[in-house]
Amino acid sequence: MLKFISRLTLITGVFFLLGLMASCADKKDSEQIDSAQNQTESIAERPLALVIHGGAGTIKRENMTEEMEAAYRAKLQEALDAGYAVLETGGNSVEAVRSAINIMEDSPLFNAGKGAVFNSLGKHELDASIMEGQTLNAGAVAGVTKIKNPIDAAILVKDSTRHVMLSGTGAEEFVSQYGITMVETSYFDTEKRLEQLHRAQGKEKVVLDHSGVLDTTPIDDHKYGTVGCVALDKDGNLAAGTSTGGMTNKKFGRIGDSPIIGAGNYANNLTCGVSCTGTGEFFIRTLAAHEASNLMLYQEKTVDQALEEVIRQIQELGGDGGMIAMDKDGNVAWDFNTAGMYRAYRKSTGEMKIEIYEKTK
How many angstroms separate the CA atoms of 258 and 334, rounded? 17
Q: 251, 270, 349, 351: which one contacts its own copies (CB under 8 A)?
A: 251
Distance CA 242, CA 40 (A): 34
Q: Closer to its own copies at the Cβ: 52 or 295?
A: 295
| Residue from 165, 239, 274, 356 in contact with its own copies (CB under 8 A) | 165
Q: CA-to-CA distance for 122 and 112, rounded, in angstroms?
A: 16
Tell the burial category of 96 from Cβ atoms under 10 Å away from its Cβ (0-12, 13-18, 19+). buried
Nearest to 151 by CA among 74, 244, 87: 244
CB contact at 8 A, 321 and 224 = yes
Q: Which is nearer to its own copies, 182 or 354 (CB)?
A: 182
Interaction of residue 171 with its own copies, rule CB under 8 A: yes
The answer to whether 225 touches 264, Cβ cutoff 8 Å, is no
Q: Does 285 interact with its own copies (rule: CB under 8 A)?
A: yes
On whether the CB atoms of residues 220 and 205 are closer than 8 A, the answer is: yes
d(CA 143, CA 358): 32
Stretch that binds its own copies, among 66-74, 135-143, 193-201, 227-235 (CB under 8 A): 135-143
The answer to whether 253 contacts its own copies (rule: CB under 8 A) is yes
- Should residue 286 be labelled a site residue for its own copies when binding is judged by CB under 8 A? yes
Pick from 142, 151, 154, 200 the residue near its own copies by CB under 8 A: 142
- Report the SS3 class of residue 320: coil
| Residue 266 main-chain phi, psi, to 5 deg | -165, 145
Smallest gap from Cβ 116 to its own copies, in A, equals: 17
Q: Does 240 bind its own copies (CB under 8 A)?
A: no
Question: Given the rule CB under 8 A, which of 19-27, 97-105, 162-170, 192-200 is the region that contacts its own copies?
Answer: 162-170
Task: Pick one of 281, 304, 308, 309: the residue that binds its own copies (CB under 8 A).
Answer: 281
143 binds its own copies (CB under 8 A): yes
Please tell me whether residue 49 adopts helix, strand or coil conformation.
Answer: strand
Considering the rule CB under 8 A, would residue 291 count as an interface residue with its own copies?
Answer: yes
Task: Establish if 264 lies at the interface with its own copies (CB under 8 A).
Answer: no
Name which position in 49, 109, 116, 284 contacts its own copies (CB under 8 A).
Answer: 284
Size of the site for its own copies (CB under 8 A): 44
Query: Distance between alpha carbon 91 and the CA centroid of its chain, in Å?
Result: 17
Residues noted as catalytic = 226
Determine how many CB atoms are found less than 10 A away from the CB of residue 73: 15
Q: Out of 86, 151, 255, 307, name the contact with its own copies by CB under 8 A.
A: 255
Question: Is the four-CA dihedral 58, 61, 62, 63 of positive or negative sign?
Answer: positive
The reply to whether 167 sits near its own copies by the rule CB under 8 A is: yes
Least distance CB 263 / its own copies (angstroms)? 7
The residues that touch its own copies, with contacts defined as CB under 8 A, are 136-138, 142-143, 161-171, 173-174, 220-221, 251-256, 260-263, 266, 280-281, 284-287, 290-291, 294-295, 298-299, 317
